[in-house]
Structure 1
């Protein structure tokens, strides 16, 4: 079996990046459907002065989601089958937690539940970066802004939980 056969087993770039983009899109849309930043409940929350304006969240999340899809598609091209499977599982958990935070916070109207969810998301993001780095350091580096934004979101969520207990 030559190099072409090995590449075929891993899937071509269109398949890898397309699959990653589809997974990220499902997560983003699922999460976004639970958000209601215009609800009376959300507007009534006491928020810290350093909370970004509502429009900033979409402006930040769009490139972050693109970077997650890029990193996954790139890392999936590496031939280490066992590590690829673990990476895929880590990504699936991460995207599930990412979408789930919106339900915990907005749908259940619970900053405390949201805080628990975002702490789990932080741990999952660290795991995702660690697993990605094992197969592709450049792909892992692309995920660092995502981790930074998740950490910021955790601090914001903690502030909301504290102010609205």
Structure 2
């Protein structure tokens, strides 16, 4: 007899390993692009920004849920075009996610990052919309909520630190 939670478990070990590896690589590259040095410390931050120590655990949870979603979507998508579309959407989202860190921290352009974060939010929304299963979509809701919230922080930084 299957339990309700067993439907949430990935069954494809190779896909699970690749999704986990992808999440670790993306998180690592994002971490390398994130410089919390003097430039960042000198920025005026909006009052609603949480402590910097929160960002690591939150992103770890989000990347874990996104990888889980990717595997559930992979398993549910029909082979061929539907699977390719799912993987392309995940890849685009990963590029936009990394791109934000590069724009904000590496290039030190919060204004460009603010423009780009709109695309990132839309890409998460697109993933939710095209998710091959409702479980894959539900696992992405925290990602959408966090990126939307983080975009307000980005907007606050741009407002408080005119170029």
TM-score, length basis structure 1: 0.88
Structure 2 match to 1:118? 117
Match of 2:157 among 154, 157, 160: 160
Task: State the SS of the aligned residue for 1:47.
Answer: coil
Matches within 5 A, 1:9-28: 13-28=12-27
Q: How far is the alpha carbon of 1:110 from its aligned partner? A: 1.0
1:16, 1:74 within 8 Å by CA — same for their partners in 2?
A: no
Match of 1:138 among 135, 139, 155: 135
Deviation string 1:98-129 (CA, Å, 9 cap, x unpaired) is 11111100001111011112111001111111
1:104, 1:113 within 8 Å by CA — same for their partners in 2?
A: yes
Structure 1 match to 2:45? 47
Runs of 5+ consecutive residues of structure 2 not aligned to the other structure: 1-10
Task: State the SS of the aligned residue for 2:76.
Answer: coil
Structure 2 match to 1:102? 101
Q: For the residues of structure 1 that align with 2:128 and 2:122, how far apart are their CA atoms?
A: 10
1:105, 1:114 within 8 Å by CA — same for their partners in 2?
A: yes
TM-score, length basis structure 2: 0.89
Deviation string 1:25-49 (CA, Å, 9 cap, x unpaired) is 2211111101011x11111111111
What is the aligned residue count? 151
1:83, 1:131 within 8 Å by CA — same for their partners in 2?
A: no
Runs of 5+ consecutive residues of structure 1 not aligned to the other structure: 1-11
Structure 2 match to 1:80? 78
- Root mean square deviation, CA, Å: 1.1
Q: For the residues of structure 2 that align with 1:122 and 1:136, how far apart are their CA atoms?
A: 20
